[in-house]
């Protein structure tokens, strides 16, 4: 599988700051993958997210999106058509008083014909299960519904990749479930590359690949089972682990043995049941 994003030795400092927020950050994201980037506050993960579609550009190193250098200003529009961004607060992304008008905003700014805009809006709202709310006022929606509308607005641009910067941070558990279900479906059923920035460890269980950041660097990477099997190293970085991994870790300390790579709720239940027998 080919890479859609390549990040190589990226260094970035905010103006007036001596210490870099990104410090030789390197990672690669494959087309069609569901990737999760984890890290404590200040680890650099949100700053990295803003680099992935050219909102910020590296002081050193390079980022290529589908072969395009994010520092090439002439390629910026193509880069942002390739990689869409969804941010933490959906209210900050709402620009219209009707849901379908909000989703239509980006295609209208691309100068697309009305029939094409209509088709894209309907398609995007159906993909996030919000079509029946197309004539609603966004401010009357729940937090999870607002975030799904924000995702639809990005989908209407027809990106190959969507980067979501802590999109569930302001949502209740039901809203988080809605949004995570939506983005997993977009990846698995529609082939859209998903890059999820989060501090909710349970949201990473079904990812194809997990990157853990600390002090502006990638300190761990692998499948969820590989990454979350190193409980002590994650705790040393000030991070938690999914509830299942934490439970099995504590039980192992108490003398129980479990198969390597046990992570999902179903796997965990079977492993504990077997151990208790």
CATH number of 3-223: 3.40.50.300
Could you report the per-residue pLDDT of 172-195, keeping only the tens digit for each?
889 899 999 999 999 999 999 999
Cβ-proximal residues to 182 (8 Å cutoff; 6+ apart), any chain: 128, 129, 148, 151
Exposure on the CB side of residue 81, measured as CA atoms within 13 A:
10
pLDDT, tens only, 124-143 = 999 999 999 999 999 999 99
- List, for residues 156-166, the tens digit of each pLDDT value: 999 999 999 99
**Residues near 196 by Cβ (< 8 Å), separated by ≥ 6?**
34, 35, 36, 37, 164, 167, 183, 203, 204, 207
What would the two tokens of residue 53 be? 């579609």
Q: What is the DSSP letter of 36?
A: E
Residue 258 to residue 255: CA distance in whole angstroms: 10
Average pLDDT in the 140-154 region? 94
Confidence category of residue 13, pLDDT binned at 50, 70, 90: very high
């Amino acid at each position: 599988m080919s890479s859609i994003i390549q990040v190589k030795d990226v260094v970035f400092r905010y103006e007036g700051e001596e210490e870099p927020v990104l410090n030789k950050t390197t990672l690669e994201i494959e087309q069609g993958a569901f990737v999760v980037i984890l890290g404590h506050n200040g680890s650099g993960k949100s700053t990295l997210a803003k680099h992935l579609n050219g909102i910020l550009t590296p002081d050193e190193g390079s980022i290529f999106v589908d072969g395009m250098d994010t520092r090439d200003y002439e390629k910026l529009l193509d880069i942002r058509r390739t990689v869409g961004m969804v941010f933490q607060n959906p209210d900050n992304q709402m620009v219209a008083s009707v849901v379908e008008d909000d989703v239509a905003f980006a295609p209208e700014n691309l100068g697309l014909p009305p029939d094409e805009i209509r088709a894209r809006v309907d398609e995007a709202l159906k993909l996030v299960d919000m079509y029946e709310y197309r004539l609603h006022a966004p401010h009357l929606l729940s937090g999870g519904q607002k975030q799904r509308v924000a995702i639809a607005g990005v989908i209407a641009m027809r990106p190959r990749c969507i980067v979501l910067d802590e999109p569930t941070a302001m949502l209740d558990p039901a809203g988080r479930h809605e949004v995570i279900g939506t983005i997993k479906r977009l990846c698995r059923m529609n082939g859209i590359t998903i890059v999820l920035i989060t501090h909710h460890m349970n949201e990473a269980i079904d990812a194809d690949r997990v990157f853990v950041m600390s002090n502006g660097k990638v300190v761990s990477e692998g499948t969820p089972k590989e990454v979350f099997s190193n409980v002590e190293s994650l705790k040393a970085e000030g991070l938690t682990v999914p509830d299942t991994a934490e439970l099995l870790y504590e039980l192992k300390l108490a003398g129980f043995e479990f198969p390597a790579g046990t992570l999902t709720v179903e796997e965990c239940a079977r492993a504990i049941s077997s151990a208790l027998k």
